[in-house]
Each structure stands twice: as structure tokens, then as C-alpha cells.
Amino acid sequence: MNFSGDIGNRIPLAEINVENAIAEHRIVHLKATFDLKEIVGLIAIQITDLQDFLNIKERMNARQILDTAEMIIEAKPEFSLTAIQDCFNRIKRAEYPYDGPLFNSLDGRKLMEALNKYDTIMLDHIYNTDEQKKINEKRSVVDHPDMFKRIIKKIQKDAD
């Protein structure tokens, strides 16, 4: 086996997650800095890596991979490259909602469906993060000693 230096250039898997996917530059912003061919090429590498990992019998050809990469750029400009990779990693790990039976083939439509599911994962993460912030803000107000004293005084006053 020849790994030809790819391992040293890989992003650690622990850094490929929803939080980083949301925080990184979106494809729409990358298009302002990079040539479209470069972005298509990076996504094509991600698709090829997914195919290789899944050991699929009916593989997408180069034209299908490039077309799918362009489709992703058009349909998901709000995604970052990390979002795409996190989605693909979830497929590899068979994480919900990708824990169903594996495909014998891979095509652009199946990848677009997977990315649509990932859209929901990102939105859920944003919602849950916002809800957790609200809970933490409420706790910090109640946990503040002065606020706690005021609450006790109000309770005592209402009791009198």
C-alpha cells in the first residue's frame, strides 16, 4: 500500500464536525476567492474518497463526479467544504440518519439526498445551541448572588 503523503495533509477527523462546518467559509464565499474549477476539484476528491471507502461496485465515472460536484456548489452554496466532508463521514460511520442499508451504487441524486439530510442536522444543531445559550443565560441570572437575594426578598415580601 502506498499512502503517498496524503495522511499528513488530512484534517484530523475530530475537527470535522457540525460546529466547524457551520463556522467555516461557505462555498458562496469561496467562489469569490478561488476558481470554480478548484472548488469543483476539492468536492470531487471528497466524492471519490467516499466511493473508495464504501467499496461500491457501481462507481460514478469522472464526468458524473464532476457534474455532481458542480450541482453541490449550485444547490448548497451555504455549505462549507467541512459540512460536505462531515456529511460524508457520517455516511461512512453509518450515523443517523445514514444508518440504513448501504447502496450498491452511488450517484449524484443519492449524494444530494444525503446533503439535504445534513442540512437538517445543521439546522437542528443551530437551534439546540441557541436553546442551550438561553438556558445558560437564565441560569447565570439566577445564579448571580444579587439576583438570588432579590428573588428571596420578593418571595418573602409576597408571603407577608
Nearest alpha carbon to residue 76 among 117, 106, 48: 117
Q: Quickly state the pLDDT bin for 131 (edges 50, 70, 90).
A: confident
Domain boundaries, the chain: 11-118
Is the pLDDT reported for residue 138 higher than 80? no
Whole-angstrom distance, CA of residue 115 vs CA of residue 39: 17
Reported as a single tens digit per residue, the pLDDT across 19-73 is: 777 778 899 999 989 999 999 999 999 999 999 999 888 899 999 999 999 999 9
Q: Quickly state the pLDDT bin for 2 (edges 50, 70, 90).
A: very low
Cβ proximity of 52 and 91 under 8 Å: no
Is the pLDDT reported for residue 4 higher than 80? no
Whole-angstrom distance, CA of residue 95 vs CA of residue 53: 15
Q: Which three cell numbers stand for residue 66?
A: 464532476
Q: Does the pTM of the predicted model rise above 0.85?
A: no
Cβ proximity of 18 and 125 under 8 Å: yes
Single-letter amino acid code for the residue at 50: L
Whole-angstrom distance, CA of residue 109 vs CA of residue 106: 8
